[in-house]
Structure 1
Amino acid sequence: MTATSASRSPAVAGIVLAAGAGTRYGMPKVLAEQGQWLELAVEALSCGGCDDVIVVLGAAVVDVPEPARAVVADDWADGASASLRAGLAAAAGADLAVLRLIDTPDIGADVVSRVLAAAASTGLARATFDGRPGHPVVIAARHWPALRATLHGDQGARGFLSARDDVVAVECGDLAAGVDVDAR
């Protein structure tokens, strides 16, 4: 390993999971607040330390704000696992993935950067809000094969994370509520 490669910063991909139909919300959440949630999600990841921002779309396909790029999960109706698989595939080559839900509009760059910094030790970190697990979640590429093996139906990374004892819990309740918005 050369000195240059040993000292390079890890490549970080931010993934906005926004493919769902939002049935409890009454519309795809990527459309919520005239696209404001999408703008907030992209800004949080971009300003929070992500080199590449990927928005996973499905039920609704929209233009995404710069500097993000869109990926469509054709099998989005299969649930959260389809969105996560599509996002990870699009992030190929990154060292870390920061997963953020579209429906947590108060999660800003400060939360993203705090959780990203905490992932340095194990490559696994998760925001908590007053002790309650939430998003964003950071997962190093070396863990992606094991994560993919757990993905099915409407389950995202929750099962993978709960089965591990090396996930760093990062308290962020001082920065945001971290609540998933499911109703208008």
Structure 2
Amino acid sequence: MTMHHRHAIVLAAGSGTRLGLGPKALLPWNGEVLATRATRAAALAGCSVSIAIGPEASEVRRWLRRRSSSAVAVHVPDAQRGMGVSLRAAVRHLTAAPDRPDAVIVLLVDQPGVDDSVIRRLFDAHRPGRVTRAAWTGAPGNPVVFDTDHLIAAASVATGDSGARVWLSAHPRLIDDIECGDLGSGADVDEPSDLTAWPELG
């Protein structure tokens, strides 16, 4: 696949209510924030990048500019309605682009253990017509690579915080799980106690 045909969507529009520290996209990480960490990892893996942003959108954009990120920010004004809304907004933006990618990886901003090596492995393993999902020491999780047509279908049935899960659970035979536990971690930052696992946060 050429560079233009690998795209990453970073879902970063959540408010981080359970965490109580504001939007996860703006959590500090080694001198940057989780939003720029995720977009940088995707760019290093050879992807064009779009990032769905919600609360504090102008501050997220400022960080992206500060880091000279080429990621396209897609503002999701009704992001509080759940991840499904963010996924639909990002996919709508993607399908309107003149150069539509063949395959897209969906990244969650709150998985700081997913770096460019994980993204590369999933794309390298991906086969047209299949869905390629990261497994972490045997447990399926995120991120996931979709053919663009499959992602459009997944976004169309996404509700609440389900993201692509509704579509994935309806198409189990299409999924290839690729072990990534040797490269990183699939743990997410969800509760205040999760912060202690990541000394880089803060």
Q: With structure 2 as the length reference, what TM-score do the two structures score?
A: 0.81
Provide Cα deviations, 1:46-78, integer angstroms capped at 9, x if missing partner: 11131x111110122021241212110122111
Structure 1 residue 39: Cα displacement: 2.0
Residues paired across the two proteins, number: 177
Tell me the amino acid that sits aligned with residue 17 of structure 1: L
| 1:145/1:38 CA distance change after superposition, 3 Å | closer
Tell me the amino acid that sits aligned with residue 56 of structure 1: A
Q: Secondary structure at the match of 1:144?
A: helix
Q: Percent identity?
A: 36
Return the structure number with greater helix share: 2
**How far apart are the structure 2 equivalents of 1:113 and 1:75?**
32
Structure 1 residue 8: Cα displacement: 6.0
Which residue among 103, 117, 123 is the counterpart of 1:116?
123
Structure 1: give runs of 5+ residues left out of the alignment: 1-6
Q: Which residue of 1 aligns with 2:198?
A: none
Q: Secondary structure at the match of 1:21?
A: coil
Q: Which residue of 2 aligns with 1:33?
A: 28
> Is the Cα contact below 8 Å between 1:122 and 1:168 reproduced in 2?
no
Q: Which residue of 1 aligns with 2:175?
A: 167
Structure 1 residue 23: Cα displacement: 0.6
Structure 1 residue 121: Cα displacement: 4.3
Q: Secondary structure at the match of 1:178?
A: coil
**How far apart are the structure 1 equivalents of 2:10 and 2:125?**
20
Q: Which residue of 1 aligns with 2:43?
A: 46
> Is the Cα contact below 8 Å between 2:88 and 2:156 reproduced in 1?
no
Q: With structure 1 as the length reference, what TM-score do the two structures score?
A: 0.89
Structure 1 window deviating more from structure 2 (136-145 vs 73-82): it is 136-145
**How far apart are the structure 2 equivalents of 1:8 and 1:41?**
21
**How far apart are the structure 2 equivalents of 1:156 and 1:129?**
19
Tell me the amino acid that sits aligned with residue 50 of structure 2: I
Structure 2: give runs of 5+ residues left out of the alignment: 193-202
Which residue among 156, 179, 184 is the counterpart of 2:187?
179
**How far apart are the structure 2 equivalents of 1:119 and 1:151?**
22
Tell me the amino acid that sits aligned with residue 15 of structure 2: A
| 1:122/1:23 CA distance change after superposition, 3 Å | same
Q: Which residue of 2 aligns with 1:151?
A: 158
Q: Secondary structure at the match of 1:179?
A: coil
**Does 1:141 find its partner at 2:148?**
yes
**How far apart are the structure 2 equivalents of 1:123 and 1:13?**
16
**RMSD over aligned Cα, in angstroms?**
1.8
